């Protein structure tokens, strides 16, 4: 009987090398802060056999990396849960995190949770997905996006994934803070939740096949 195990790590960024751990099925990793590209390279070098990966970066340093030319891939990865705390200085670089997905050719379920940064609400900064080219996620069936605030980077990220996921069955977008909490930054009126919901529904409905189960909640 094959025994499998889960690897867990929480702390500052450090290279992780479990390349010979063929029984590794799941990994839960939390970096307090890390250069996003360095974290991805480290995981590709050390966790190629993992099937389920939860990666949380408390302070990701996102860079303008246009092309991902690393030949290494997460060839066994099926479920990715990515949690990122986006500081205001990186609001215009959210789309660059798509480089992670380019290394997951067989992914079936994707969860992306955006945390923090009030500057994300309706932010119109950053590049467009057309600048990145296509990358097919032929096995991706289920997408859950939380902490969506209709920033251009978030919307372009999501539309890039949807347009390249021909097998998609379910798409859930949750508007607002993640984890949920009451913010006083917008006073009595609150954040522009309804406008963000309208943007998500309108833009995504234009590209989603009718058979996809689609919902936007707050």
pLDDT for 180-214, tens place per residue?
A: 655 555 555 678 999 999 999 999 999 999 999 99
- Beta pairing partners, 6: 26
Q: Which residues fall within 8 angstroms of residue 71, CB to CB, at 6 or more apart? A: none
Whole-number Å distance between alpha carbons of 82 and 109: 11
pLDDT for 13-56, tens place per residue?
A: 887 877 666 678 899 999 988 888 888 888 888 887 899 999 99
Whether 1 has a pLDDT exceeding 50, the answer reads no
pLDDT for 140-183, tens place per residue?
A: 999 999 999 999 999 999 999 999 999 999 999 999 987 665 55
Whole-number Å distance between alpha carbons of 176 and 150: 9
Whether 71 has a pLDDT exceeding 90, the answer reads no
Work out the angle at residue 98's Cα, subtended by the Cα atoms of residues 92 and 103, and round it to the nearest 5 degrees.
155
Whether 124 has a pLDDT exceeding 90, the answer reads yes
Length of the chain: 218
* Residue numbers of the domain that contains 210: 5-217
What's the total number of domains in the chain? 1
- Residue 156: phi and psi, rounded to 5, are -65, -40
């Amino acid at each position: 009987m094959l025994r499998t195990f889960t690897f867990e790590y929480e702390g500052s960024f450090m290279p992780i090398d479990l390349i010979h751990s063929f029984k590794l099925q799941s990994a839960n990793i939390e970096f307090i802060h890390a250069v996003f590209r360095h974290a991805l390279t480290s995981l590709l070098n050390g966790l190629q056999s993992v099937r389920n990966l939860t990666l949380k970066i408390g302070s990701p340093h996102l860079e303008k990396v246009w092309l991902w030319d690393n030949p290494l891939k997460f060839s066994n990865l099926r479920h990715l849960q990515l949690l990122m705390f986006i500081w205001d200085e990186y609001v215009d670089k959210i789309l660059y995190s798509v480089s992670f997905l380019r290394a997951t050719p067989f992914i079936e379920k994707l969860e992306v949770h955006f945390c923090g940064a009030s500057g994300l609400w309706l932010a119109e900064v950053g590049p467009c997905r057309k600048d990145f080219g296509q990358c097919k996620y032929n096995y991706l069936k289920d997408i859950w996006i939380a902490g969506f605030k209709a920033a251009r980077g978030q919307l372009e990220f999501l539309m890039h994934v949807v347009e390249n996921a021909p097998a998609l069955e379910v798409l859930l977008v949750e508007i607002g803070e993640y984890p949920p909490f009451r913010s006083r930054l917008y006073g009595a009126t609150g954040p522009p939740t309804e406008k963000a919901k309208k943007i998500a529904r309108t833009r995504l409905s234009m590209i989603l096949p009718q058979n996809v189960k689609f919902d936007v909640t707050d």
